[in-house]
Amino acid sequence: MKTAQNLLAGADLDRLCIDTIRTLSIDAVQKANSGHPGLPMGAAAMAYVLWTRHLRGDPADPAWPDRDRFVLSAGHGSMLLYSLLFLTGYGLTLDDLEHFRQWGSRTPGHPERGLTPGVEVTTGPLGQGFGNAVGMAMAERWLAATFNRAGQPIVDHRTYVIASDGDLMEGVAAEAASLAGDLRLGRLIVLYDANRVTLSATTDVTFSEDVGARFAAYGWQVQEIDGMDVDAVDAALTAAEGDEARPSLIVARTHIGFGSPHKQDTFEAHGEPLGKDEVRATKRAYGWPEDAQFYVPPEAQREFDKVGARGAERHAAWLHLLRDYRAAEPELAAAFERALRGELPAHWGDGLPVFTPADGDMATRDAGARVMAVLAESVPNLVGGSADLDPSTRTMLKGKGDFQPADLPERTPPTQGLAGGVRGYAGRNIHFGIREHGMAAILTGMAHHGGVLPFGATFLTFSDYMRPSIRLAALSEAHVVYVWTHDSIALGEDGPTHQPVEQIASLRAMPNLLLLRPADANETVEAWRIAVRHRGGPVGLVLTRQKIPVLDRSTVAAADGVARGAYVLADASEGVPDLILIATGSEVSLALEAHRRLVAEGVHSRVVSMPSWELFRAQPAEYRGAVLPPAVRARVSVEAASPFGWERWVGLDGAIMGVDHFGASAPGPVVMAKYGFTVENIVATAKQVLARVAR
Amino acid sequence: MKTAQNLLAGADLDRLCIDTIRTLSIDAVQKANSGHPGLPMGAAAMAYVLWTRHLRGDPADPAWPDRDRFVLSAGHGSMLLYSLLFLTGYGLTLDDLEHFRQWGSRTPGHPERGLTPGVEVTTGPLGQGFGNAVGMAMAERWLAATFNRAGQPIVDHRTYVIASDGDLMEGVAAEAASLAGDLRLGRLIVLYDANRVTLSATTDVTFSEDVGARFAAYGWQVQEIDGMDVDAVDAALTAAEGDEARPSLIVARTHIGFGSPHKQDTFEAHGEPLGKDEVRATKRAYGWPEDAQFYVPPEAQREFDKVGARGAERHAAWLHLLRDYRAAEPELAAAFERALRGELPAHWGDGLPVFTPADGDMATRDAGARVMAVLAESVPNLVGGSADLDPSTRTMLKGKGDFQPADLPERTPPTQGLAGGVRGYAGRNIHFGIREHGMAAILTGMAHHGGVLPFGATFLTFSDYMRPSIRLAALSEAHVVYVWTHDSIALGEDGPTHQPVEQIASLRAMPNLLLLRPADANETVEAWRIAVRHRGGPVGLVLTRQKIPVLDRSTVAAADGVARGAYVLADASEGVPDLILIATGSEVSLALEAHRRLVAEGVHSRVVSMPSWELFRAQPAEYRGAVLPPAVRARVSVEAASPFGWERWVGLDGAIMGVDHFGASAPGPVVMAKYGFTVENIVATAKQVLARVAR
């Protein structure tokens, strides 16, 4: 490391640029009086080398499809990213930096996709960005294998990550790293900012493992370098780029809060402003003008401007390639560009199945499988898999191949659990392994990479494992489809560890997540139709393990009512009913039968199927009032899940038939009956409510 | 491996015993027509060696405190455990095995603590048992360091685990394993049932990493053996027990579904009964009587009976040791036995702080710190820590030492983030690292080990990372205290990635979890008091980052109302009010001020503080009706969190002031005001509701 020099005496240009990143970050954190200066100060050198010499992007078009992706997994170091976006011309202004962490600014505390041009994913909760990056690298490989043709590498980019100690302590990153190694994602390169200091302590206290050896065990290329040394970083990145058979981890030793006379290498540099005096002292140590705020030396700016110039050239070259590709492969090019725009092929929904009671009772997971068999053909960029539960979730895209590295002589040929069809990265079935959290983070990364519509499946109970990543998908509006089967205590013998109870309520509580629990096979078709079309966030499909009736749509309302979230399935008569039964999923057929018995006894009953609270809430008040007339207070909800939240629909006067404790191990029909989900019990409850409300 | 022999021709006794375990498991799964036969068949040999030659337990007293702990992390192989518990005399009967997975049986689909004698923890969701086991090993080390005296090793046992491929793919196990290595938990021994087959596939498809090398990188002793070879298992366990400086992973290669002519080594053996014909064929291959069901050869039973005999001897020897210990160390022995019984010291609650407005505004996290400083003295087995957030969660037990291996010359002396006080395993502050999920699984294991009252802290948002383990703590009724700070959008600048919104609702939806969100410093004292005393499940404390007023209890009701979940804080007048404002946490002081303004305007207003829904729901109907008179429908709830669920208290006619979208990065007071949490807005909303209800 060079010692600090007098800025005005012609400091080394690299150092000048690096210190510009550092001081911008320091000043923004100090002005906000909030934030994390330490990481930008320590990681500025390697970020500078990456952004100016390796990362391929066009600041004038942050959405250029063949750009390299950059993920700041250590999102608390957001000022590092904002400084780079500002300096390299992505459209951030000095004013944006000066409003770091302020209301309405484009520079929030942690990077948020959609808010700031050039921010690829929303990060901050540790480990998530790492998982997203694995998903981006997977999407790149799939698109390349699917769309590239000889001499026309229309998809040809890398995913770079800066990750912190904290990222690599998190299990989600461990899961994603193991899968990345297994999949030999050679286009993924992680700079590990090994500063050995976390928020509360040095990592010696709790993180003494050999991270490099661990990643080697996953099958990664591992290099250890001085992360403050520009040339070492450059060489390591070049070596990483040269190994396309393995993902790369560059263990870069850095100094948190570098240059701060009193805080370097301490946890005090991690998450608080340096303080005014220490800011001055640090700038003095850099040879920086002490009193300058948000200062960008012109020489440094000229150097950063080259990023834009080079990016524009590369982008232009790619557009040239794309023109040739369009000419040579017009159909493929059309499909490629449609996928990148996130559009669906025309007629994608044609041929989706229509079921009748003659099909026999059918689990909605099986109806889902029938839908997916059609979508496998009509939505060619539907790509995904399960966390080792295909035989149970029924989510394999048969004949569409397995997403696997091709031609690996040292790998035992897999003999089981495979989809058949094309091998290699063009396969559309991803084997996530028993890594639900990693799966969810990867799906978000795939969605935000663009070009694919990702799905992931597991049991509904295990959505808990995915939850931190679901939240970020919802926050960043990723279009992902989650298929959650085994949706209630009715799954039976596996018992309470596997029986979801509170999951449906807790997922409904999450903003931006659209949840659908279809009542039968035809509602499942409609739910999938909505899931494929939806924009603005992820969609969760909640499906049964057990067989349930296919409702006879000649006697009840059509299943396309799913699109409105809730609809009147059957009514005793015209006009306002005396009683409303509201049910979802497998309990709708029970409620319907109870309704029929009540009607036979002369009750003016109505039964409402409510597959999606979110869609229903988005309807106009008139529609909601027509389905659930405000004056009708005799209401009974029936859902084999936590009653939590159902007062929204039944109020203080109605009754909620739910499960307010954990499940039990026994055959599904036994558990359902013991927990009160019988037609008789619904009828009896309805009568009680009617009597109570009448009083 | 020996080939199958004719049972009646005097088979090898070990093999006879092992095949007894296998056939019991096969028969139970077949009879239930549900379950996982493959793991018990493949892991029976190593489980047999462990249980008959190494594991120290007394079947006559499954609660003997100094027993070795056994965790079947791969809970789907529950019949392996039930077979062993039956054969070694823990009180399970053949009838229990015949009712595997049936309603009301003691043999549920996955092992459940509390239901079956000898089951230490509830497992099934993969990776969790592994994490629990790390917690058990930590509790053992803490108790040993705290209570053992020279020549009196009153705490002196090991924790053994059988884990599967799936367990070791899960991030929660990775986090716990890393920490176990860091902490050098030499008393932890994991038999890894490396059968290379998961539910849907061979592990080649997705799990090609070198697990042994990974664990070596964590600092574990690693051995690789033939897990079907009795002598090899025995030798490996002996070697593992001989290394007290490192936890041990024994990578045991096994064959799933061993002996099944058509299903061995296939995923079909994983999760389904073998089928009647295959059961017969398998028994034939074992040299077993084909038609016998649940057959236990007398020679095998005699061998298994020795476990009980040896256990009784060891238990008796320990009781002898305990007698001597009581004589030599009466006070210590009393404390030890009280801790094991889960009892609190007399007067533990004395000296808890009482706050007044004169103390100034105070964040409830800081009030919590003041409480913990007292509890650190009065509850000597309160042990825990945070996921690298001590400086923010304020949960360090100052002066109570750091739970760390003592005397490790090769470790850099930690210089930061430490509590001070005793070093070594007697330290009471655990540095979990940035491993929230691992922390939560560990806490459950510590609680179920017994002898300690564990706590764990992080930001409320990151409770999402902990969720699968919280659920199992709730299901298995573990007494754990979670301290979740930074409890709302009011945390400010860190922005939406860190601002909880839906977490409170989703935690309230979970059965058996007691959640408390105190309104001020004095409610925080009461909340902690409840948390320490509570039994039957975990407790979550939801605390503010920001300062809030200390309510003047001379003008409002006393804070001990917290124990009833909700209480009338202030009333306009005697009798039934016209309007009820219900608030929790930091919003109570806003609601109180709004109430005062409304009263000044002549509204008969009431303000209710509702720190805990669960406690309030458990009150008699009269009390609930007195706090929230059913006839009063003009109700407004105020909570800076998802509105989800609040209709329970405000019905269809009231108003919910909440946050039904994600947060934003800006100073906390700005975010709160922008999101409508102001006194003016509460007053205005209340008037609207009053007007609406009056109509």
Residues on chain B touching A491 (C-beta within 8 angstroms): none
Confidence check: pLDDT of B198 > 80: no
Question: What mean pLDDT do residues B217-223 have?
Answer: 98
Residue A200 is nearest to which of B266, B417, B493, comparing CB atoms?
A: B417
- A665 to B412: CB separation less than 8 angstroms, yes or no: no
CA–CA dist A127, A170 (Å, integer): 5
At A283 the pLDDT is 97
Angle subtended at Cα B31 by Cα B27 and Cα B35, rounded to the nearest 5 degrees = 80
CB pairs under 8 A between A and B: 402
At B199 the pLDDT is 67
ipTM for this model: 0.97
Confidence check: pLDDT of B458 > 60: yes
At A574 the pLDDT is 82
DSSP per-residue string spanning B239-260? HHHH--SS-EEEEEE--TTTT-
At B408 the pLDDT is 54
Q: Which of A460, A490, A454 is nearest to A473 (CA)?
A: A454
Taking the CA of residue B350 and the nearest CA in chain A, the distance in Å comes to: 31
- B391 to A630: CB separation less than 8 angstroms, yes or no: no
- B267 to A391: CB separation less than 8 angstroms, yes or no: yes
Q: pLDDT (tens digit, 9 = 90+) per residue, B11-31?
A: 599 999 999 999 999 999 999
At B4 the pLDDT is 40
Q: Which residues of chain A have pLDDT under 70?
A: 1-11, 198-203, 407-417, 695
- B665 to A105: CB separation less than 8 angstroms, yes or no: yes
Through-space distance between the first and last CA atoms of chain B, rounded to whole angstroms: 84
Best probe of the B interface among A115, A402, A434, by most B CBs < 10 A, is: A434
Q: In terms of pLDDT, which residue wins out, A576 or B663? A: B663
Q: Give the residue on A whose Cα is nearest the Cα of B179.
A: A206
Residues on chain A touching B418 (C-beta within 8 angstroms): 201, 205
Confidence of residue B201 (pLDDT cuts 50, 70, 90): low
Q: pLDDT (tens digit, 9 = 90+) per residue, B83-135?
A: 999 999 999 999 999 999 999 999 999 999 999 999 999 999 999 999 999 99
A8 three-state secondary structure: helix
Residues on chain A touching B420 (C-beta within 8 angstroms): none
Residue A506 is nearest to which of B108, B509, B652, comparing CB atoms?
A: B509
CA–CA dist B267, B196 (Å, integer): 9
A10 three-state secondary structure: coil
Residues on chain B touching A642 (C-beta within 8 angstroms): 509, 511
- Contact call for residues A323 and A516 (beta carbons, < 8 A): no
Other CB atoms within a 10 A radius of the CB of residue A312 amount to 15
In DSSP terms, which residues pair with A80 in a beta bridge? none
At B238 the pLDDT is 98
Taking the CA of residue A346 and the nearest CA in chain B, the distance in Å comes to: 33
Q: Which of B310, B286, B274, B229 is nearest to B16 (CA)?
A: B286
- B201 to A414: CB separation less than 8 angstroms, yes or no: yes
Task: Pull the structure tokens for residue B530.
Answer: 């409840």
- Write the DSSP symbol of residue A202: B
Confidence check: pLDDT of B10 > 50: no
Taking the CA of residue A129 and the nearest CA in chain B, the distance in Å comes to: 12
Taking the CA of residue A451 and the nearest CA in chain B, the distance in Å comes to: 24
Question: What mean pLDDT do residues B676-689 have?
Answer: 98
Residue type present at position B76? H
- B101 to A661: CB separation less than 8 angstroms, yes or no: no
Residues on chain A touching B663 (C-beta within 8 angstroms): none
DSSP per-residue string spanning A394-454? ----TTS-B---S--TTSPPP-SS---S--STT--EEE--S-HHHHHHHHHHHHHH-S-EE
Residue B391 is nearest to which of A199, A202, A461, comparing CB atoms?
A: A199
CA–CA dist A193, A202 (Å, integer): 14
Residue type present at position B70? F
Task: Pull the structure tokens for residue B308.
Answer: 């009980």
Which one is catalytic: A303, A436, A526, A639?
Answer: A436
Of all residues in chain B, the percent with pLDDT exceeding 90 is 91
Confidence of residue B197 (pLDDT cuts 50, 70, 90): confident
Confidence check: pLDDT of B425 > 80: yes
Confidence check: pLDDT of B670 > 60: yes
Q: Provide CB contacts within 8 A for B440, sequence distance 6+.
A: B131, B456, B465, B466, B468, B469, B470, B473, B482
Interhelix angle A679-694/A587-600, rounded to 10 degrees, is: 60
Q: Which of B70, B390, B433 is nearest to A127 (CA)?
A: B433
Q: Following CA atoms B52, B57, B58, B63 in sequence, which dihedral angle do they give, to the nearest 10 degrees?
A: -150
Question: What mean pLDDT do residues B39-63 have?
Answer: 98
**Cα–chain-centroid distance for residue B617?**
24
Q: Which of A497, A481, A479 is nearest to A489 (CA)?
A: A497
- A103 to B670: CB separation less than 8 angstroms, yes or no: yes
**Cα–chain-centroid distance for residue A265?**
33
Residues on chain B touching A245 (C-beta within 8 angstroms): none
At A199 the pLDDT is 67
- B109 to A208: CB separation less than 8 angstroms, yes or no: no
Confidence check: pLDDT of B418 > 80: no
At B11 the pLDDT is 56
Question: What mean pLDDT do residues B415-430 have?
Answer: 80
The answer to whether residue A175 is catalytic is: no
Burial level of B338, CB count in 10 A (0-12/13-18/19+)? middle
Taking the CA of residue B531 and the nearest CA in chain A, the distance in Å comes to: 20
User: To which residue do tokens 């009540």 refer?
Assistant: A598
What DSSP element (H or E) covers A231? helix A230-242
Q: pLDDT (tens digit, 9 = 90+) per residue, B273-287?
A: 999 999 999 999 999
CA–CA dist B621, B617 (Å, integer): 9
CA–CA dist B397, B377 (Å, integer): 9
Taking the CA of residue B124 and the nearest CA in chain A, the distance in Å comes to: 6
Confidence check: pLDDT of B218 > 60: yes
Through-space distance between the first and last CA atoms of chain A, rounded to whole angstroms: 84
Q: CA dist B291 to B9, B15, B18, B22, B281, Å? A: 18, 19, 18, 15, 10
Residue A388 is nearest to which of B35, B199, B214, comparing CB atoms?
A: B199
- Contact call for residues B200 and A390 (beta carbons, < 8 A): yes
Q: Provide CB contacts within 8 A for B366, sequence distance 6+.
A: B394, B521, B547
- A218 to B214: CB separation less than 8 angstroms, yes or no: yes
Q: CA dist A184 to A220, A453, A538, B348, Å? A: 8, 22, 28, 57
At B573 the pLDDT is 85
Task: Pull the structure tokens for residue B108.
Answer: 């549920």
Residue B122 is nearest to which of A205, A497, A644, comparing CB atoms?
A: A497
User: To which residue do tokens 């004169």 refer?
Assistant: B358
Q: Give the residue on A whose Cα is nearest the Cα of B198.
A: A388
Residues on chain A touching B435 (C-beta within 8 angstroms): 169-171
Taking the CA of residue A165 and the nearest CA in chain B, the distance in Å comes to: 9
- B496 to A512: CB separation less than 8 angstroms, yes or no: no
Q: What's the alpha-carbon Rg for chain B, to the nearest Å?
A: 28
Model pTM above 0.95: yes
- A509 to B645: CB separation less than 8 angstroms, yes or no: yes
- A652 to B642: CB separation less than 8 angstroms, yes or no: no
Best probe of the B interface among A115, A167, A506, by most B CBs < 10 A, is: A506
- A174 to B179: CB separation less than 8 angstroms, yes or no: no
Residues on chain B touching A493 (C-beta within 8 angstroms): 32, 34-35, 101, 109
At A694 the pLDDT is 78
Which one is catalytic: B175, B436, B523, B639?
Answer: B436
Task: Pull the structure tokens for residue A636.
Answer: 């009974």
